[in-house]
Amino acid sequence: MDLENQKRVLDLSEKYGKENVVVVLGTAEAESAGLTAETVAAGDPTYAGPLAGVSLGLVVYHVFELKDQFDAQVYDDQCGMMEMVLDVDALNNEVSSMRKQFSKF
């Protein structure tokens, strides 16, 4: 995950309180989805960024997991196309497994 973005996540979670922050991902590949989820929940697994060794424990979802929460029409317009192309199950599994392991809220 981008080093700049790690910094923003760190700052924002301090500003608003970790329990109030939710991270939503739009990642295309299961592997990078998992890594990003791990970064914001457990810390940067590559140990290169500001989140190295920092376990924020943030709640993290892939956008596909939240389908029911959104206006169906908007979701369909924005995400419908990619939902057909990408491996939704793999992505959801990867992110939810990270969430279950590392999210504290």
Residues that bind another protein (CB under 8 A): 1-5, 8-9, 12, 16, 20-29, 31-32, 35-36, 40, 45-50, 52-53, 58, 63, 66, 69-71, 74-75, 77-79, 82, 86
Residue labelled with tokens 């080093």: 3
Task: For the CB of residue 30, give the shortest distance to another protein in the complex, in Å.
Answer: 11
* CB nearer another protein, residue 26 or residue 96: 26
Q: Are 1 and 49 in contact (CB under 8 A)?
A: yes
CB of 25 closer than 8 Å to CB of 36: yes
Q: How far is the CB of 100 from another protein (least distance, A)?
A: 15
Closest distance of CB 16 from another protein, Å: 4
d(CA 87, CA 77): 18
Closest distance of CB 74 from another protein, Å: 5
Cα distances from 49 to residues 13, 21, 42, 44, 93, in angstroms, run 16, 20, 13, 7, 25
